[in-house]
Amino acid sequence: MFKAVLDIVFPPVCLLCGARALKKGFCEGCASLIEKERITSPICTVCGIPFTSSRGVDHACGRCVEQPPSFTAARSAFIFEGRVLDAIHKLKYGGDTSVAAPLADLVSGSIGGHSPCMVVPVPLHTGRLRERGFNQSLLVARELSRILSLPLIYDRLKRTRDTGQQVGLKAVERKKNVSGAFTLVEPGLFKGKKVLLVDDVITTGATLNECSKVLKRSGAEVIALTVARAVKL
Cβ closest to Zn ion, residue 17 vs residue 117 = 17
Beta bridge partners of residue 221, listed in sequence order: 194
**Cβ neighbours around 176 below 10 Å, total:** 12
Q: Output the smallest distance, CB 68 to Zn ion, in A.
A: 9
What's the rounded Cα separation, in Å, for the pair 63 and 69? Answer: 9
Q: Output the smallest distance, CB 90 to Zn ion, in A.
A: 11
Beta bridge partners of residue 31, listed in sequence order: none
Cβ closest to Zn ion, residue 31 vs residue 169 = 31
Beta bridge partners of residue 88, listed in sequence order: none
Q: Output the smallest distance, CB 148 to Zn ion, in A.
A: 24
Cβ closest to Zn ion, residue 14 vs residue 211 = 14
What's the rounded Cα separation, in Å, for the pair 184 and 135? Answer: 18
Stretch that binds Zn ion, among 38-46, 85-93, 148-156, 188-196 (CB under 5 A): 38-46
Cβ closest to Zn ion, residue 71 vs residue 190 = 71
DSSP, res 88: H
H or E segment to which residue 223 belongs: strand 221-229
Interface with Zn ion, residue 44, by CB under 5 A: yes
Q: What is the CA radius of gyration of the chain?
A: 18
Cβ closest to Zn ion, residue 113 vs residue 192 = 113
What's the rounded Cα separation, in Å, for the pair 222 and 212? Answer: 6
What's the rounded Cα separation, in Å, for the pair 223 and 202? Answer: 13
Beta bridge partners of residue 75, listed in sequence order: 225
Q: Output the smallest distance, CB 61 to Zn ion, in A.
A: 3
Q: Output the smallest distance, CB 158 to Zn ion, in A.
A: 28
Which residues, in sequence order, are CB contacts of 224 under 8 Å at separation 6+? 71, 73, 74, 75, 196, 197, 198, 199, 202, 205, 208, 212
Q: Output the smallest distance, CB 33 to Zn ion, in A.
A: 8
217 within 8 A of 70, measured Cβ to Cβ: no
What residues numbered 59-98 form the site for Zn ion, per CB under 5 A? Answer: 61, 64
Q: How many residues bind Zn ion (CB under 5 A)?
A: 11
Q: Output the smallest distance, CB 164 to Zn ion, in A.
A: 26
What residues numbered 9-28 form the site for Zn ion, per CB under 5 A? Answer: 14, 16-17, 19, 27
Interface with Zn ion, residue 129, by CB under 5 A: no
Cβ closest to Zn ion, residue 64 vs residue 101 = 64
Interface with Zn ion, residue 46, by CB under 5 A: yes
> What is the contact surface with Zn ion in residues (CB under 5 A)?
14, 16-17, 19, 27, 30, 44, 46-47, 61, 64
